[in-house]
Structure 1
């Protein structure tokens, strides 16, 4: 019995454009709501959200059960952190702040077992092997791992062609927020120079046969990204969606109160 098929990896390899969302609430109940909404993939954020291994595991479980594909973003690309995420059963990883081919090569080695890599062999204890229930896990795990790197600085853009040449890097995610800040336009994600840099990078990533990814929560930018070749696109963030909906609900409720009390309408008997 081989390792489970990574549907996120196989769908991207088949040329699909996958629509996803960002999970920052760090809660499995909220993750399950998002997972049943119909997104192709969901990113469990370990960089900016208050996640730890147990909360990542809980969200991984509910997302896997839903049919959406989980992608785990780690806070850094350290070998030990990658090993732990893979042993939990994550098969798609996104690593932030990759600025060089050397970094990318080290990440590729971290997600692979020896002799092709340096991933520690702890499958007997691991959920990934179904606790030794998958006899061929060690022989087949590498092929089902999808590795994405985030390019989100000027240094990363300068090294993009070298990063793209690294065998084992499956996708490159462009981070508009950090890239705009590094370019001197903090908070101006849609500055013309930032958008031009993203467009050019997207075309180069696609031309190299890798999957370009990005997050845009507005339709014009998301539409342009897809038209330019982006293949995994996040169009929503759970924190922002919930915060916006709750603010609108509070405002609507207070406006209703003002209308009723100003008009002197009687309350319920």
Structure 2
């Protein structure tokens, strides 16, 4: 039985994060044990061509590719799904209208208006066209980012949309928003209260809750809060941390 992304992104699993536009990095993260890798097109260096190559490398290595699109770039969501992405994360979703517009590009009718053309996705999966078409709305995920006060207030309505499969929290932006720009503190009391609220709303809706984890300690903390999946650091962060640890050890 094939394990889909909905099954993978549950149970507090730690996922990789790829900012570099290099397919071998995505592959290395999967081979290191991450069941899914998020390709960051918002703040990372991957353009569309690099994202296509990363999706293929991640999937061929046995992982699931999640892609975060640039703000408001919903049309790219459809292209990334056609390339084989398992899930799309959309940043700065602040309202039901934002979420509905995003979901319309991820889901086929009747949930959305995604255009047909998943040629690369079919090549990578080996799935038949009709099987893909009838199952895609349940297996390719639309995940809305919650990272502003306005989004937090609307989370129940956002999660109620049939085309939205879950939410993903950006702790840094959320802390900036909740402090009215005064500070970036991912561990602030306001953030921690918001996390509990987000997890409760997601569970009530029967959907998926994810969050960015800045460290292994944050991953453990967010699992305990109840998040379904947590991305661990980033490729560049892991490289820097590993290099520093190896250098320190080599010096004795």
TM-score range, shorter chain: 0.7 to 0.9
- Tell me the TM-score normalised to structure 2 length: 0.88
Aligned to 1:103: 98
Q: Which has the larger radius of gyration?
A: 1
- Cα deviation for residue 166 of structure 1 reads 0.9
CA contact (8 A) 2:64 2:85 kept: no
**Secondary structure, counterpart of 2:226 in structure 1:** coil
- Deviation per residue, 1:95-117 (Å, 9 max, x gap): 11111111111222111234542
Instruction: Note closer, same or farther for the CA distance 1:111–1:6 as it changes in structure 2 (3 Å cut).
Output: farther
Instruction: Note closer, same or farther for the CA distance 1:153–1:6 as it changes in structure 2 (3 Å cut).
Output: farther
* Inter-partner Cα distance in structure 2 for 1:251 and 1:179: 34
CA contact (8 A) 1:206 1:229 kept: no
CA contact (8 A) 1:8 1:69 kept: yes
Aligned to 1:50: 45
- Cα deviation for residue 228 of structure 1 reads 2.0
Aligned-pair Cα RMSD in Å:
2.4
Aligned to 2:122: 129
Please list, as runs of the form range in 1=range in 2, the aligned pairs for 1:70-149 lying within 5 A after superposition: 70-123=65-118, 126-130=119-123, 134-136=128-130, 137-149=132-144
- Deviation per residue, 1:154-198 (Å, 9 max, x gap): 010011111111112111111101101112253311122222222
Which range moves more in the overlay, 107-116 or 33-42? 107-116
Which range moves more in the overlay, 142-151 or 172-181? 142-151
- Cα deviation for residue 77 of structure 1 reads 3.8
* Inter-partner Cα distance in structure 2 for 1:177 and 1:41: 22
- Tell me the TM-score normalised to structure 1 length: 0.83
Which range moves more in the overlay, 18-27 or 195-204? 195-204
Counterpart pick for 1:217 among 196, 205, 214: 214
- Deviation per residue, 1:12-64 (Å, 9 max, x gap): 4xx53322121112211111111101112111111110111111111111211
Structure 2 gaps of 5+ residues are none
* Inter-partner Cα distance in structure 2 for 1:249 and 1:226: 28
* Inter-partner Cα distance in structure 1 for 2:220 and 2:127: 43
Which range moves more in the overlay, 48-57 or 62-71? 62-71
**Secondary structure, counterpart of 2:129 in structure 1:** coil
- Deviation per residue, 1:103-138 (Å, 9 max, x gap): 111222111234542212234xx2123399723133
How many residue pairs end up in the alignment? 248
Instruction: Note closer, same or farther for the CA distance 1:19–1:249 as it changes in structure 2 (3 Å cut).
Output: closer
Aligned to 1:197: 194
* Inter-partner Cα distance in structure 2 for 1:208 and 1:104: 15
Structure 1 gaps of 5+ residues are 257-269
CA contact (8 A) 1:83 1:120 kept: yes
CA contact (8 A) 1:18 1:41 kept: no
- Cα deviation for residue 220 of structure 1 reads 3.9
- Cα deviation for residue 5 of structure 1 reads 5.7
2:148 paired with 1:153: yes
* Inter-partner Cα distance in structure 1 for 2:73 and 2:102: 8
